[in-house]
């Protein structure tokens, strides 16, 4: 089936979907994005993603491309036209097209691109298998809380992970504390059995799955703390895992070549995977 991409007001075949060479996203990374999980043709946590999009746009003083209600129509229509059942929906907004000049253009409309990507539905055997991460210095700018298009350190970090035979790279700040992965949030279960993930300050992206899991932990009475943890603490952790809209919840069973939790998926990680999977099955119909 051919893919359809929304570009600035038009639904185009994938091969014809293009933006102008002077789009500021292309020249300056002057834009923001969101990645939604699609499960059974439904967007997972649609409004929280749109809230975060509006926040990112606001932080960069960029105009929303259209009102939220209209944007929701475009998102649904992109899913429908692609007959997406499982996968991801990628949304990108840039400051638009203008002659190249670092300063904001006086009058230009934001550009909007929305595209769907098919992936197989999650399968518990693969999810539970667990994977390896490496640690790398966090060399990003000081605002990773904004979901900016500018992802060069993330790209380089992920490539380093792949070349090391790992799935993800956990970035470490100058104080030796883990911030997050290059495309996911980082979690551990401490020796004392407490769930820990970095607090949502400016050092990390406040992941939508991260927030959802904290809510689940709260309602299940699971003890958790939002705080920084060091690489040493992660190495000594009982369990570790990562979360993102594209990665689901993935157990981390090796950090820099060292086994975590005996190299097996831990019980709390398993419980959270189960809770998240249950949530996905309860999503309402696409309105
Ligand atoms: N990545 N941290 C970073 C740096 C990310 O890029 C992401 C998401 C997350 C998790 O956020 P969420 O739970 O909202 O997906 C954390 C997306 C999926 C991506 O760039 O593909």
192-232 confidence digits (pLDDT tens): 999 999 999 999 999 999 999 999 999 999 999 999 999 99
Candidate from 151, 158, 245, 250 with most ligand 1 atoms within 8 A of CB, to mutate: 245
Regions of the chain where pLDDT drops below 70: 1, 284-287
**Number of other CB atoms surrounding residue 194 within 10 Å:** 15
- CA–CA gap between residue 182 and residue 195 (Å, rounded): 21
Q: What is the pLDDT of residue 1?
A: 59
**Which pLDDT belongs to residue 122?**
82
12 CB neighbour count, 10 Å cutoff: 15
Q: Within a 10 A sphere around the Cβ of 13, how many other Cβ atoms?
A: 10
Integer Cα distance of 38 and 12 in angstroms: 20
| CA angle centred on 220, ends 215 and 221, rounded to 5° | 100
Q: Which residues contact 107 (CB under 8 A, 6 or more apart)?
A: none
Q: Is 147 a catalytic residue?
A: yes
Cα–Cα distance, 95 to 81 (Å, whole number): 26
Q: How far is the CA of 247 from the centre of ligand 1 (A)?
A: 9
| Inter-residue contact 173 to 193 (CB < 8 Å) | no
4-118 CATH, one of 3.40.50.2300, 3.30.420.40, 3.30.470.10, 3.90.1150.10: 3.30.470.10
Q: Per residue in 249-283, is it b (16+ CB within 10 Å) or e — as a string?
A: bbbbbbbeeeebbeebbbebbbebbebbeebbeee
Contact 181, 242 (CB under 8 A): yes
For residue 246, the ligand 1 atom closest to its alpha carbon is 18
SS3 53: helix
The CATH fold assigned to 124-281 is: D-amino Acid Aminotransferase; Chain A, domain 2 (3.20.10)
Pocket residues for ligand 1 (CB within 6 Å)?
35, 180, 183-185, 205, 207-210, 243-246
Among 116, 156, 244, 248, name the best residue to mutate to test ligand 1's pocket (greatest count of ligand atoms within 8 A of Cβ).
244
Token reading at 158? 């992920």
Please, what's the b/e burial string for 123-156 (b: 16 or more CB within 10 A of its CB; e: otherwise)? eeeebeebbbbbbbebebeeebbbbbbbbebbee
Please answer whether residues 272 and 241 qualify as being in contact, where contact means their C-beta atoms are separated by less than 8 angstroms.
yes
Would you kindly state where each structural domain of the chain is located, as residue ranges? 4-118, 124-281
């Amino acid at each position: 089936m051919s893919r359809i991409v929304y570009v600035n007001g038009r639904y185009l075949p994938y091969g014809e979907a293009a933006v102008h060479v002077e789009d500021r996203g292309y020249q300056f990374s002057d834009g923001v994005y969101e990645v939604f999980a699609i499960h059974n043709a439904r967007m997972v946590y649609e409004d929280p993603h749109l809230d975060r999009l509006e926040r990112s746009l606001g932080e960069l003083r960029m105009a929303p491309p259209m009102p939220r209600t209209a944007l929701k129509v475009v998102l649904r229509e992109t899913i429908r036209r692609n007959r997406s059942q499982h996968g991801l929906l990628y949304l990108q907004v840039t400051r638009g097209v203008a002659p190249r000049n670092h300063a904001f253009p006086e009058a230009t409309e934001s550009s909007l691109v929305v595209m769907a990507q098919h992936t197989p539905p999650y399968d518990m055997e693969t999810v539970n298998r667990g994977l390896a991460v490496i640690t790398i210095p966090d060399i990003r700018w000081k605002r990773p809380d904004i979901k900016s298009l500018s992802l060069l350190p993330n790209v380089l970090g992920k490539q380093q992970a792949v070349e090391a035979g790992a799935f993800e790279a956990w970035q470490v700040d100058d104080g030796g504390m883990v911030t997050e992965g290059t495309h996911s949030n980082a979690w551990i279960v401490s020796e004392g059995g407490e769930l820990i993930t970095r607090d949502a300050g400016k050092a990390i992206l406040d992941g939508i799955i991260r927030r959802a899991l904290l809510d689940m932990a709260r309602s299940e009475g699971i003890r958790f703390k939002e705080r920084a943890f060091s690489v040493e603490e992660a190495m000594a952790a009982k369990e570790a895992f990562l979360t993102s809209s594209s990665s689901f919840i993935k157990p981390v069973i090796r950090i820099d070549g060292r086994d975590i939790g005996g190299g097996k998926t831990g019980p709390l990680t398993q419980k959270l995977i189960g809770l998240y999977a249950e949530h996905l099955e309860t999503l309402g119909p696409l309105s």
